[in-house]
Amino acid sequence: MLQVENLNAHYGKLQVLHDLSLTIRDGERVGIFGHNGAGKTTLLKCCVGDIAQISGNIRYHGEPILPGQVHLNVRQGIGFVPQGHNVFRELSVAQNLRISGLMHDPAYAETVYGIFPILKERSVQQAGSLSGGQQQMLALGMALMTRPKLLLLDEPTTGLAPIIVRDVLASIRSINQSEGTTVIIVEQNVPATLQQVERAVVLKSGRIIFDGPSQQLREQENLWHLF
């Protein structure tokens, strides 16, 4: 369980998250939505300890997430995929996966290839020459190589063609279902994401203005007014 209690986050004098509380159970798939600047990325970063200037409490399985100590926090089994295609462009697909799995089980690459067969087909190709969607799958695959129990994804479908968006989002659901991984995903592709997550959280100006079943947000006629 991830417990965020009365979280405030600042960049210098600018307060970005305001007294935010949120509990996420193991195995949940949660989408986080909201306008640009709402604080979505900041919230994800706080959950892995990537923002130092916070007050409040964040605990994962009862253990504190230490602000500014990402390298320690990730050892609790947290994988964070920041926005953008975070791959080693000069290395092959297989090398990217192997490097990510060094501290864990390099043989787990076979499982990742099972989730993303296109990566197996392209295993000897330089990562920098993959398409955007394939690079995103590789970035996800690299995070999976660390065998996370909690996966934090920041806009994994940005810049992808709609059909690829669906594939990437569906793969996230299958990761959750086959591995039991808890998934928190920040997305701009709201309708497509709502089909894959069970719970939706909407942020506005650093506060939660909706938290409920994704179905409920889908049915809400004034959905777009929330954003």
Ligand X SMILES: Nc1ncnc2c1ncn2[C@@H]1O[C@H](COP(=O)(O)OP(=O)(O)O)[C@@H](O)[C@H]1O
Q: Is the Cβ of residue 45 or residue 122 nearer to Mg ion in the bound state?
A: 45
Scored b (16 or more CB within 10 A) or e, 6-33 reads ebbbeeeeeebbeebebebeeebbbbbb
Identified binder of Mg ion from the candidate list 41, 135, 146, 193, rule CB under 5 A:
41
Q: Which C-beta is closer to ligand X: that of 38 or that of 184?
A: 38
Query: Is residue 79 involved in binding ligand X (CB under 6 A)?
Result: no
Q: Classify residue 53 by its DSSP letter.
A: S
Site membership for Mg ion, residue 42 (CB under 5 A)? no
φ, ψ (nearest 5 deg) of residue 45? -60, -40
Strand 29-33 to 14-24 pairing: unpaired
Q: Which is nearer to ligand X, 37 or 114 (CB)?
A: 37
* Of residues 27 and 67, the one with the C-beta less far from ligand X: 67
**In angstroms, what is the minimal distance from the CB of 41 to Mg ion?**
3
The minimum distance between CB 40 and Mg ion, in angstroms, equals 5
Residue 4, CA distances (Å) to 50, 97, 146 in order: 15, 31, 23
CB neighbour class for 110 (10 Å; exposed up to 12, middle 13-18, buried from 19): exposed
CB atoms within 10 A of CB 91: 15
What strands lie across the sheet with 29-33, from one edge to the other?
78-81, 150-154, 182-186, 29-33, 199-204, 207-213
Contact flags string 6-45 toward ligand X, x per CB under 6 A: -----x--x-x-----------------x-xxxxxxx---
Shortest distance (Å) from residue 104 CB to ligand X: 29
**Is 134 within 8 Å of 118 (Cβ atoms)?**
yes
Q: How far is the CB of 145 from ligand X (least distance, A)?
A: 25
Q: Where on the chain is the footprint of ligand X (CB under 6 A)?
A: 11, 14, 16, 34, 36-42
